[in-house]
Amino acid sequence: MTAQTPKPTPSPVPVPVPAPVSGALEGRRIVVVGAGSNTGRALARTASAAGAELVLAGPDPRKLEWTAGELSGPARVVPVDLADEASIAALATATGRFDHLVSTAAMPANGPLAELELADVQRAFAAKVVGPLLLAKHLAGQAATDGPDGASFTFFSGVAAWRPAPARTVMAATNGALAFLVQALAVEIAPVRVNAVSPGIVDSGSWDRMGTDKEPFLRAVAERNPARRVGSTDDLVRAVLFSMASPFVTGTVLHVDGGGRLV
């Protein structure tokens, strides 16, 4: 058997920090659930470059370690399964006191209604609805509400809730449920702030599977969007940073979709 060459540990990636955020996250502890995703990694890199301490959570420890290797500051890796309450309770224990939590988690269950499998639907709701509810249950009491910007939870909804389409029924339902959950949690766990970011079509890597069809698809989206472009992970990171740093914003969905839900 031929031995495999181990994957090299990445060097920290230099990250430009938006001016309004520079210094605002210095010394803060931020929990990123979904830190192995492209958006979660980008957020972790930006927050780390701004001086934050990161708790990187998600289902795949290998991806979390890869993200940790890209950071310029301290980070802790904590595997978590949002479908398992005991796993979320363990994350709370490992995290301790923190300032902000962000979850980019999603587990789409797309397809025609007649072909949907119950297990896939349950996983989708665990990632987008039940998981966020349990994150708030187990971690809200540890949020540092005495900081200058208070403490916050930011979850990820999506444009499908406002623009449902055939074979996207579960995606629309989970994203819509999360939007209403954010409002309820903002009241329930106040003064901890709770918001959601709702992306539209974003070139975050998820469309790469389309192969040569990707560019024509994104071009068509840009042509009909009021913003006349598709989104980027940087757009999403900026929205999350706004949510974390804005002490008078709670119970709100930030639509980062270029106006896509309007057309």
Q: Provide the pLDDT for residue 23.
A: 66
**Integer Cα distance of 214 and 41 in angstroms:** 22
Q: What is the CA radius of gyration of the chain?
A: 18
Average pLDDT over residues 113-140: 97
Q: Where are the domains of the chain?
A: 29-204+232-255
Asked if residue 65 lies in contact with residue 6, where contact means CB atoms within 8 angstroms, the answer is no
Over the stretch 9-28, which tens digit does the pLDDT of each residue have?
A: 555 555 655 545 556 899 99
Please write the tens of the pLDDT for every residue from 205-240: 888 889 999 999 999 999 999 999 999 999 999 999
Q: What is the pLDDT of residue 24?
A: 83
Per-residue confidence (pLDDT) for residue 115, from 0 to 100: 97
Q: Is the pLDDT of residue 171 over 70?
A: yes
What are the two backbone dihedrals, phi and then psi, of residue 160, each rounded to the nearest 5 degrees? Answer: -60, -25
Q: What is the pLDDT of residue 1?
A: 47
Q: What is the pTM of this model?
A: 0.91
Distance, CA of 180 to CA of 174 (rounded, Å) = 10
CATH architecture of the domain covering 29-204+232-255: 3-Layer(aba) Sandwich (3.40)
Among the residue ranges 13-27, 64-78, 157-171, the one predicted with the least confidence is 13-27
Average pLDDT, integer, range 133-139: 98
pLDDT at 43: 97
CA atoms in the 13 A half-sphere facing the CB of 197: 32
d(CA 197, CA 20): 19
Angstrom CA distances, 171 to 28, 145, 158, 159, 233, stand at 33, 32, 8, 9, 20
